[in-house]
Chain A
Amino acid sequence: MTRYLRLLGLQLRTSALLAAQYRWDFLVDGVISVFWAATAVVPLFVVYGEAARPGIPGWSFGEALVVTGWFILLQGILDGAINPGLQAVVEHIRKGTLDFVLLKPADAQFLVSTARFHVWRVFSLLNAGVILGLAFHRVGRAPSLMGIAMALVLLAAATLLLYSLWILIVSAAFFVVKVDNLTYLFSSIFDAARWPSAVFRGALRFVFTFVIPLAVMTTFPAEALLGRLAPQTLVGAVLGACAFAGLARLVWLRSIGHYTSAGG
């Protein structure tokens, strides 16, 4: 266990060194992340418009902004910590260089998942903080300590869910090789998480709660911060996330059995 912690520290350090090497990226990423955050908020302004518009049923402007802020936070985690490493796997599989990873005396899933971090994406966390601050200013009250604690638990669950979903998608790369645009697919589906799950009806609501649990990732934490999430929902979400992670691990192990390397 300590060995894996040490490995994680090492991988983080190489990523940090790499980020320090491309210092200009710091500025570029900063500007881009502010731009992205702004474009994530604009649709909300249009939906709520000039006070005359009713907006999303059951969600005031400030409350919906909490969801968007949380969405930007998760997007930062996804782009900074989850995407880069796993994108590298797809490339490895295509070129056949995954062999070198598999040969190393550590768990392959751990190695590929921690291979690369985009350190400069911490900017998104800053943006998310600003937006959440504005949102609660609009709502008119601060979240309770209990709410913050619940939201943090859900943040961990959401990260685990995102990561597991990614592992499941990457596993597909072992079977269908040309999957460059899977990343793009994943971020587009994740885009739906910027809206409170109340806008989805029927079958899609079921899908976004249980199959691709977007609701768990952004709507539940927002509800926790607003102090209206039932504790049993929290327990369900955490158990669900763990089940998802277990499933992803199983699928990964099976898929890696299918890996036959690529010729020269």
Chain B
Amino acid sequence: MRRIFKAVPTMLKIGFSEAVAYRAEMIVWVFATTMPLIMLMVWTAVAEVAPVPSVSGRTWGAGAFVAYFLSAFIVRQLISSWAAWEINYEVRQGTLSMRLLRPVHPVLMYLVQNLAFMPLRLLVTAPVVVILLVSPGAAHLEKHWATWLVFLASLVGGWMINFFANIAIGALSFTMESSVKIMDVWLAAFFVFSGYLFPLDLFPPWLREATAWLPFRYQLGLPVELMTGVHELPAALMLLARQFAWAAAFMVASLALWRAGVKRFQAYGG
């Protein structure tokens, strides 16, 4: 166990060099996740006529939308993971056997690889953070420092749900021809139910209620809501607890799926 943890800093270093080497890919990824900025334009165009009222009694003006969608862009950058595609590719090409040979759990390898990208992701989000702070959206950000701490914890939780969901779906490719289609469905649901395309506050009440019981809101919606000061501290902590319950559930399920899948793996191709 201790030997493995000793290897982590080296793995991180390798991962970081990889991230720097494939920075063009990183840029492509950033451009591919500009959806919140498109939605920002859609919603400010809508809000220009008149502020949008929500069922909960809040009115969304242009400033609120700016704060919401810039936050959504930042959170998406920090929580994203593409392990599902990677696993799917490696299983089909048979190159996963290389990972299985190493004395470190492959899931830990994917995890470290993802974390190694963090410095670059922070670099990408830095200008957006600055824009957010000088934009009219700044007035709509959370004021209380304690909620910001909850926000940091919720980023970790959101990242965990996203990462382990990726592992779980990736592990399905051991038993299916291609798990990418499942990922497509997952992503489509994520877009609608996470608050990525619109604040969940604007959903009709019954759909809003449903999102409280689905994992998607806890991936992205919750951190964004915490940034934009929607929740009081006690409510925020309650939501955080639910988020970590989801994160734990996904962790357990994905590791079980992985273990069951690897048994079937026969490294064809190569």
Contacts and interface: CB of A to CB of B under 8 A. Distances in A.
Interface of A: 22, 28, 32, 35-36, 39, 42-43, 46-47, 49-50, 52-57, 176, 178-182, 184-185, 188-189, 191-192, 195, 198-201, 204
A262 to B, nearest CB: 16
Contacts of B191: 39
B46 A55 contact: yes
A178 B32 contact: no
- Cβ-closest 6 pairs across A and B: A199-B45, A54-B49, A188-B32, A185-B32, A39-B188, A199-B42
B45 A188 contact: no
A162 to B, nearest CB: 17
Interface in B14-48: 22, 24-25, 28-29, 31-35, 38-39, 41-43, 45-46, 48
A21 B188 CA distance: 27
B134 interface: no
Interface stretch (B102-110, B197-205, B261-269): B197-205
A55 B45 CA distance: 8
Nearest to B188: A39
Nearest to A55: B46
A199 B185 CA distance: 27
A46 B204 CA distance: 8
Nearest to A205: B41
Given A39-B188, A185-B28, A46 B46 contact: no
Contact of A184 (B32, B39, B41, B197): B32
Contact of B28 (A54, A57, A182, A200): A182
Contacts of A178: 22, 24-25
B52 interface: yes
A181 B204 contact: no
Interface in B170-199: 177, 181, 184-185, 188-189, 191-192, 197-198
B225 to A, nearest CB: 16
Given A184-B32, A199-B45, 5 more contacts: A32-B181, A35-B185, A47-B198, A53-B46, A176-B24
A181 B86 CA distance: 11
Given A35-B185, A199-B42, A181 B202 contact: no
B53 interface: yes
A131 to B, nearest CB: 16
B50 interface: yes
Contact of A43 (B52, B177, B184, B198): B198
Given A36-B188, A57-B45, A46 B32 contact: no
Contacts of A54: 46, 49-50
A201 B28 contact: no
Contact of B42 (A35, A182, A184, A195): A195
Nearest to A28: B181
Interface residues of B, number: 35
30 contacts: A39-B189, A43-B39, A43-B197, A43-B198, A46-B202, A46-B203, A47-B43, A49-B52, A52-B53, A53-B46, A56-B42, A56-B46, A57-B45, A176-B24, A178-B22, A178-B24, A178-B25, A179-B25, A180-B25, A181-B25, A181-B28, A182-B28, A185-B28, A188-B31, A188-B32, A188-B35, A199-B41, A199-B46, A200-B41, A204-B41
B28 to A, nearest CB: 5
B192 A47 contact: no
B38 A191 contact: yes
B206 to A, nearest CB: 12
A181 B38 contact: no
A180 B82 CA distance: 12
Nearest to B22: A178
B182 to A, nearest CB: 9
Q: Looking at B32, B49, B181, B185, which has the most chain A CB atoms within 10 Å of its CB?
A: B32
A179 B24 CA distance: 9
A49 B43 CA distance: 13
A41 to B, nearest CB: 10
A56 B38 CA distance: 14
A22 B178 CA distance: 12
B24 A57 contact: no
Of the candidates B38, B181, B202, the one having the most CB atoms from chain A within 10 angstroms of its own CB is B38
A197 to B, nearest CB: 11
A83 B49 CA distance: 38
Contacts of A47: 42-43, 46, 198
A239 B184 CA distance: 35
A188 B34 CA distance: 8
B21 to A, nearest CB: 9
Given A54-B46, A181-B28, A188-B35, A49 B41 contact: no
Contacts of A179: 25, 28
B192 A42 contact: yes
